[in-house]
Structure formats: structure tokens, C-alpha cells
Chain A
């Protein structure tokens, strides 16, 4: 039944089993359950780290589990999968440790742990899957179980956001399934290794593009790509902070994983596909950043930032397609930006969680000044801040530089061959501008929380100074934050090897020449971005969005795609459909009514109704309805046959 290394299956099933065991333990003792959940996280990380070590040494693990779900499940562990499995496990471990403090005043904690750990197993399953069937299986489980994490506090806002989340997830899942049907029909396989050669042989290119678009729809819905991003800025702020960190840091990456599978197997080095992804990615990148600048809610800003960063990653994916064989920089950039964004958002969302945990508020006007005199929180937030804005020597710089370089490289390539490169010059500036907006909105958060003073409640906030975090939180936040400069200061030690580990999954090659991380050309891009950021912060945020001592929200409500377009369209669609269906369903009934008033008018026999038949006292009316009508004739007709049957039995038994 098992072919290959069973450890891969254990890596997927252990958190799920742990979830169930933890649930049972939690019914007895909450403390024991918390420790057990931590232990599950730690062992899962240890297992995956061990496997990663094996992969680094050159091993490659596969596992084929026959019989399950008819087609069998197929797992593989190559560099990219091992790396992301490890990051998933790391994030789950940290958030689980942090959850103990964060959730201490919440209800239904047992449920939360159950579904978090189930989601963990499913997410690891997505990252380890080697065929799309397996991916889909775990993807759906992940979508459903993470829903419970989103709506954990069950407030109306959370329920509504959860509704959007679930609707998008289900719709995405079903379209994904449709795409898989089509792909299976076209190529006869769903195995990722076999898809690349199989797709090259497909003659029906339109069918393949359709299948690819459907798959992209499903995966991009989870990744938060425009225009399917609607759930993202709503679901992240309402979920408990550890869950937001996971949603933003890793569940969106499961979507990106799928996008990568599609882009690098179905449409490897396909410029048309690359352009499409690039277009969506650019819109996502810019739009996310703009909404984040407008937002005045701590977690919402971070959520929009996630959307924008996913846009950066998608730009990298698009560039891979455009650059074709020379896409090494784009491959590295995409991959490293995924890793960096996961780790950065882990730190940032947990830091936001500390704020919420103490104040139960997220509006920037209410939480102003909370961070003053809290060096640990400042350290964590600052590390995340410097990472995400792309400050040299922090990890975000490395990946953003690579992505930027890939665009520059393509412009050079275009100019070399004499093709117009204007659009890509524009793209480069949009890229740098989005980076600048990142710096601007992050500075807004930093200044509001850590620099400004709260006009009325600063005393109360200062009183919390030494007791706002417990040791477990300090460990989780500190551990997450320390990594960021560590990765950024020594890119050759960490980032290069990590990127090299994953490039075979993306069918990329190593860069032709060694990357000089801190060369002037590379630093220049980062500095331009930071300059734009400073200008936007001073010129726009401090002047337009900050009036009379308050941050104001200027984002017009009608620009909300969900409320002003999707929901009305959906409602109208369902209304029309229901009307049509009701009409169709009434047709036979009307036909029968027509018969009853015309040719099959029932015969009225009032006398018979006066004395109810004792044999049928329980059902006088049905007899009244059927006698004298067509159906009564039919009833007799059927009864006759029934009698015949009995007669035949008797005949046989006698003979």
C-alpha cells in the first residue's frame, strides 16, 4: 500500500491526529492541552526539519499511498517542498505557543486548537503533494478547517467576513476542481512531474489555457489575487492574531504554491501566460498597497499589506514566464519573497496581537502610544518593519532586489532585441512605487503605535509596560523577529542556498553570475523606494490622512468590490435563477390543474362522504381525493398487478 518514505504521510497525519488527541485531552485539562499542542508543533517542526536536512544532503523522498480516495495519494519532498513544509511547521509552532496567552480569555478554545492543528496537517499536505489530486484534497480540507479559525470569536463582523471567506474558498475550490477535470481530460495525468511533458504535447491550446485559468482561479482565490482578494482584507482583521498570522503568512502561500505549480508546469516559459499573471500581480501589488495606505486599522493595514506582497510575488511569477530560459533571478526572487513574507508577517501579526490582547482595539486612533516604553514589542515590530519595507541588511531587501533585477533584466533584454520596453519601464516604476507605499503605511503604523502619545489614555497604557506579554509570547515573538535580520545580514549563507534548494521545483537554473547583494545598482532601487515612501508619508499621510490630531479613513465605501458588485450580482443571479426554476417546476402542476378542470373533472358524490367508512377511518380524505379521478383507476390497475404477483407466488409454492 505504501511505496516510498512513510514519514511524509506521518508529517501530514501527525498534526491531524494530534488535533483529535488534543481535543480529547482538552476536555479534561486545558493546561495539558496547551502543552500538548505545543509538543505537536515542536515535533512536527523537528520531523520536517530532519527531512529538510536529508534533502539538503541530496536525498529526495517520494511516497505513493495506493487505494486512498480511489486514485491514491502522491507525495514528494524536494527542496522547495521541504523548505515550505518546514516554514509551515515553524509558523504553526510559534503561533501555537503564542495562542496560549492570546486566547486565554476566549471561549471555545478547544475548538480553536482542534481546527488549527487540522489546518496545519492539511497545509503541510498541500505543500508535500506531488499530484494535483492530492493538492486539491488537502486544499479543500484546509479551506474548510481554516474557516473555523477565521470566525473564532463569532461576532457579527467575523461571521460576515467568514461568510465571504467560505464563499470564495468554496467557489475557488469548485472552479479548481473543474480545471482539474479539464486538465485530466486533456493530458490524462495530474502528476506534477508528468504534467510538463504532457502539456507540451497538448494540441488543444485553448482548452489548456482554459484549464490553466480555472486552476489559477482556484489557487489565486486563496492567494488573494485581484479580483478575488475580497476576503483577505476582511478575514484577517477579525480572526484571532495567531490565526491571522497563519492565514496571511502560510495559507495564502498554499495558494501561491498552486499558482507556481500551474505556471511552472502547464505553462513553463510561456510569455502569454506570464503577461497575464504579471498584469494581475501588478494590480494586486499596487491596489493592496494603496488600500493599506488608506486604512486606519492596524490588522487591516497588515492584511492589505499581505495582499500587496502577494502581488510582488505574482509579479515574480509573471516575470518567470516572460524571461523564459533566463529567469533565474525571477525564480530566486519569487521563492525568497514567499519565504520572507511568511516570516515577516508572522512577527508583525503576532505583534499586532499583543496590542489587541491588551487593548481589545485595533483602530490606530485608539491604540496610539501603546508601544511607548515597551522595548520588546518595539524590537519585534521594528524587525518586521525593516524587513517588509526592504531596508538593506534585512531579509525583505534581498528578495525585492531580486524581483526588481528581474524586471530590469527583461527591459535590457527587450532593448537589446529592439522591442519597445515602455510598458516595462512603467512596471519598474509601479514596482518601486508600491515598495514606497509599503514603507509609507508601515511607517504610519510604527509612528502611531510607538512614537505618538495617546491624547487621553497614555497613563493606562504606560501602566501595562512590564506586564503586557508573558514568557511564552516573548519567546514566540522574539524567535520570529530575530530570524529576519539574521537572514538579511548574511544572504549568502541563508538566502542563496535556500533559493538554490527550491529552484528545481520552479524549473529554474542558478543565476549565470553570482549575485552581489549590496552592489550600488541594487541599493539604488531600495533607496528610491524608501525615498518615495518618505515622500508619501510626509506629503500624503501626515497631511491628508491626519487631520485635527486624528487618523481619518478616506477610502470610499462604494469602492468595496464585494459590497458594491459581487454581492448584488450574486443576489440578482440567484433571484433570476430561482424565478426561472419556480416557473419550470410549476409547469407540470399547472398542466395537471388544467386537466382537472377540463377533461378529468372529479365526480362529486356528497352522499358517500356523510358516513365515513370504518375501514378507512384514518384516511377518509385521501379516498375522497382519489375516488372518481384518474388516479383511482390507476390505483386499481396497480393493485391488480400486485394481486397477480401474490397469485404467482402461491402457484409456485403449490407446484
Chain B
């Protein structure tokens, strides 16, 4: 593979853009700033999308024989980078309007852009060291987004976010010595890099440390026990920032787990061991816990945050099953949850922006005032519940079939049951909002209704995301690509 320097472009361009927004006084003018940010987001999107086709590119920057920064584009990077640029573009456009009622615009856009660069770096990371570096970088660059309003809660939440993320990532750091000792290389290779000769006799040590590494990276994905930052950080961040936090940044944890599990340690080592059972149980508990707490939560954005805890663990459950079908389902759910949750957070943002209402119980009749926003909310909610033909249905389908196929005792049927119960809980915490919004009752004052749908900058991203929830109608191209990823990981020899 030849060195492809242009791979750095999509990573460095948003970083440079962010720094410029922070440094140039001209960026105080709203129009200039918006145009500049939009241009950066658009160009980055084009750069990332242009990588969707063509062979695998790689870029290796060696420091020593061991320490090397390596970027590589494979199908998994394509999936994640595509999601990243799409969500950043839409949330960015949404921010233009939303940020009107916040201060500190330059600071916000600076970190918003830099964190996109960090995430793209993570998506393109080709070896463990790069992954780890980008992971930490991303944590540091997204903290100011949580901190943005600088209120007491925001400070607390940001502190919590830092603590949990860094604690998680430092567990992830254990992977480097682990792979140096027992692996052939640090470079991610589909199916794992462990060296059978070095491994012989040390399987349980490696399993124990892999478990720690996976739980550590799980912090970012809201996996129990390191999930508490999520419900704290989401409500305080500006809505577009919580949208990307929830929709994409939690997926960074998923990506790290994917890379470690399937590209470094390899599924064979863990299949059928206590580590797999432990991780599956943890994921299932998180699924149920997130949904239940969301049901009991009154604050809309916090409810959505708990929902994220639960939904991202759907993905992790699918990954930990170490099964072809389940992994396909998990990867579809990465996209499905990104789209739906982004739409939900942006709708919540639009509601907060236009009415100032933050509690789920206050939204009676708002569907009459903000029909566009509420329709988007409703479609995204149906997508998240997994009602066909919306997005979440397809992932649930594959996840449950995969669980049944995996043949693990107890979990192979308990898993689907819990996923289904959680889907019902999802319906129970999202649908009443929709029902209340659209069907306010006969005593509702229709005369007093003011149309309060937000302006185009907010409406267009919402509508695009809502349209994307119906993507399942013809998911051929996406699932084709995902099958490629899955079969590359498991080899041609069927499941584990």
C-alpha cells in the first residue's frame, strides 16, 4: 500500500477550521462565521464521502518500530466516517439557528469542528496507538461542548464526562501492552492479531485484560458501569451538541470496541468464555436499565440520554454475541440509532428553542403549533422503537435472529426477550409525548394556536433526518457494505 498523505486532509481540515474560528476576530460577524463553518463542514463531508469508493488507503507515520500513527480506510471506517460527516453537517446547520440563544459562538464552533476532526481520525485509525490517541483527543475536544453554558450543572457534568471518559480510556490503554506481548502487530487486522504461539497457556490473562479494555471503551458507549456521564452531560449541552454526543460520539466507543474485539483480539478467543457471558449480561442489563430509567425521567433531553444508554447497548449486545447475523444487526443499529437519536435531539432542541419547555409533560398540543418538528419527532420515535418500515426494525430483526442463532444457553432467548421488552419501554417513554403533542383533547384552545415551527436552518436538517428514518425501505447498499465487513471479520468459514 502506498502512503496516501491526502488521508490527513479530512482530519486536519476541520481542526484548522476550528482553530481559525477561534483565532480570527472576523468570525465575530455571524454571516462570515456561518459561511466559514458551513464551508468547512461541506468540504470535509465531500472529502470523507470521496473515500467511500476506491481501494483501501493507508498512511503510516512511524516514530519508532513500535510507536506508529497509522490511518487506513476500510469499510468500517467508511461507515463511521460517513455517519460522522453527515451528522456534523446537519447538526452544524441546525446550530446556526439554535445558537442564537446561546453565547460564546466562536468557542462553540471551534470545538465543534475540532471534535469532528478527532472523530474522523478515530474512524480512520489503523492501529491501536492511533485509536487510543484519537480517543483521548476526542474526549478532550468534546468536553468544552458539554461545558458550554458554564453553569454549575454544566461544570459538574463536564467533570463527570472527563472523569468517566479518561478512566475508561485508561483501561483501554491496557490493550497496547497486551497486544505488544501477545500479538503479532498493533495494526488492526480483520479477525484479530493474536499470536497463537505467544498466547498458549496465557489465554485467561489475555481474556481478563480484554474484558477490562472492552469495558473501558464501553464508557464512551454508555455501557454499565461507566455510563453515568451520559444522562448528566446531555441535558446541559446545547441541543446540536447533545445530538452529536448521543448520535455519534457514543458510537466512537462502539467503534473502539469493534476494532478491539474484531480487529485486534479477535472473536475466537472470547467466544463461549466467561468474558463473553459477562459482557453480554452487562450489555443486557444496560439495555433494560436505560429504558426503565428513561421511562421514569421527566426531563425530555435526559430521557433521551437514558434512551441512548439503552440503545447503544443494543449495538454492544450484538457485537458481544460474536455472531455474523448479530454483528450485521449491530452495525445497522449504529446507523439507525445515529439517525433517529439525532433527529430526536434536534427536535427537542427546536422545541426548547421555540418554547423554552424542557419537560416531557409540558408538550401538550405542541404538535398543533410545531407540526413539522413533531412529525419528525414522531417518525424518529417510531424508528427507535423499531416499528416497520422504519430504521430500527431492521436492526432489531438481525440482532434477535443473531441471538437465536448464536445458540448460547439462556442468553440466546433471553436476549431477544429483553430487547423486545426494551422496545416496549421505548414506546412507553416516547409515544406519550407524540400522543400528547398531536391529540391535546377537545378542550384545547385551537384559536390560541400560533404556528411556531422554526426557520429553515433548523427545519431542513430535521426533515432530512426524519426522511432518513425510512431508509429501511431500500437498505440494499448499506447492508451490502455491512455484509462485506462482517464476512471479512469472520472469514469465509461461517460464524464462530
| Residues in A lying within 8 Å of B, measured CB to CB | 67-70, 107, 136-137, 140-141, 144, 151, 153-156, 159, 162, 166, 170-171, 173-175, 177-178, 181-182, 184-185, 574, 577-578, 581-582, 584-585, 587-589, 591, 618-619, 621-622, 625-626, 630-631, 634-635, 637-639, 641-642, 644-645, 648-649, 651-652
Contacts and interface: CB of A to CB of B under 8 A. Distances in A.
A467 to B, nearest CB: 26
Contacts of B166: 631, 634-635, 637-638
A154 B472 contact: no
A622 B155 contact: yes
B398 to A, nearest CB: 9
Contacts of B442: 107, 153-155
B69 A638 contact: no
Contact of A642 (B137, B170, B393, B435): B137
A148 to B, nearest CB: 8
Given A136-B388, A642-B133, A67 B147 contact: no
Contacts of B420: 174-175, 177-178
A638 B139 contact: yes
Interface string B106-148: 0000000000000000000000000011101101100000010
B292 A70 contact: no
A67 B472 CA distance: 10
A519 to B, nearest CB: 49
A584 B289 contact: yes
Given A181-B400, A639-B140, A159 B104 contact: no
Given A69-B473, A178-B416, A584-B285, A171 B401 contact: no
A214 B295 CA distance: 26
A626 B162 contact: yes
A67 B140 contact: no
B159 A631 contact: yes
B52 interface: no
Contacts of B289: 581, 584-585
Contacts of B446: 107
A170 B427 contact: yes
Contacts of A649: 8, 12, 61, 69
Contacts, number: 171
A70 B472 contact: yes
B304 to A, nearest CB: 16
A67 B224 CA distance: 37
Contacts of A185: 401, 404-405
B172 to A, nearest CB: 11
Contact of B61 (A177, A585, A652): A652
A638 B166 CA distance: 7
A50 to B, nearest CB: 27
Contacts of B385: 170
Given A626-B162, A637-B166, A642-B136, A154 B228 contact: no
The 8 closest A-B pairs by CB, nearest first: A634-B166, A638-B136, A588-B225, A631-B163, A581-B292, A621-B155, A652-B61, A185-B404
B389 A69 contact: yes
A645 B133 contact: yes
B169 A619 contact: no
Interface in B144-178: 147, 150, 152, 155-156, 158-159, 162-163, 166-167, 169-170
B171 to A, nearest CB: 11
Contacts of B170: 634, 637
B237 to A, nearest CB: 14
B226 interface: yes
Contacts of B475: 69-70
B456 interface: no
B163 A634 contact: yes
A639 B152 CA distance: 24
Choose among A591, A626, A634, A649 the residue with the greatest number of B CB atoms under 10 Å from its CB. A634
A641 B226 CA distance: 22
Given A591-B225, A642-B136, 6 more contacts: A67-B474, A141-B387, A178-B416, A181-B401, A634-B166, A639-B140
Contacts of B404: 181-182, 185
A111 B423 CA distance: 27
Contact of A584 (B156, B224, B472): B224
B152 A69 contact: no
B383 to A, nearest CB: 13
A577 B475 CA distance: 36
B208 interface: no
A171 B424 contact: yes
A210 B8 CA distance: 55
A619 B61 contact: no
B295 A574 contact: yes
B41 interface: no
Choose among A107, A159, A638 the residue with the greatest number of B CB atoms under 10 Å from its CB. A638
A628 B285 CA distance: 34
Contact of B441 (A155, A631, A651): A155
A178 B166 CA distance: 39
Contact of A137 (B136, B162, B388, B440): B388
Interface in B240-295: 285, 288-289, 292-293, 295
B163 A645 contact: no
Given A618-B150, A645-B133, A159 B439 contact: yes
12 contacts: A69-B473, A162-B435, A171-B424, A173-B387, A584-B285, A588-B225, A619-B155, A622-B158, A631-B167, A634-B167, A638-B139, A652-B69
A207 to B, nearest CB: 10
B296 interface: yes
Contacts of B397: 70, 181
Nearest to B400: A181
B389 A137 contact: yes
A585 B69 contact: no
B444 to A, nearest CB: 8
Nearest to A178: B420
A102 B133 CA distance: 67
B63 interface: yes
A582 B158 contact: no
Contacts of B423: 174
Contacts of B295: 574, 578
B472 A585 contact: no
B358 interface: no
A578 B104 CA distance: 39
B239 to A, nearest CB: 20
A463 B261 CA distance: 80
B185 interface: no
A166 B431 contact: yes
A144 B382 contact: yes
Nearest to A138: B388
Nearest to A626: B159
A6 B191 CA distance: 44
Interface in B432-485: 435, 439-442, 444, 446, 472-476, 479
A651 B285 CA distance: 46
Nearest to A186: B404
A185 B473 CA distance: 23
Contacts of A577: 288, 292
B293 A622 contact: no
B268 to A, nearest CB: 24
A177 B132 CA distance: 40
Contacts of A621: 152, 155-156
B382 to A, nearest CB: 7
A67 B388 CA distance: 15
A641 B394 CA distance: 39
B441 A585 contact: no
B156 A582 contact: no
Nearest to B139: A638
Contacts of A589: 228
Contact of B147 (A136, A153, A619, A652): A619
A641 B121 CA distance: 14
A82 B346 CA distance: 45
A638 to B, nearest CB: 4
A140 B293 CA distance: 26
Contacts of B198: none
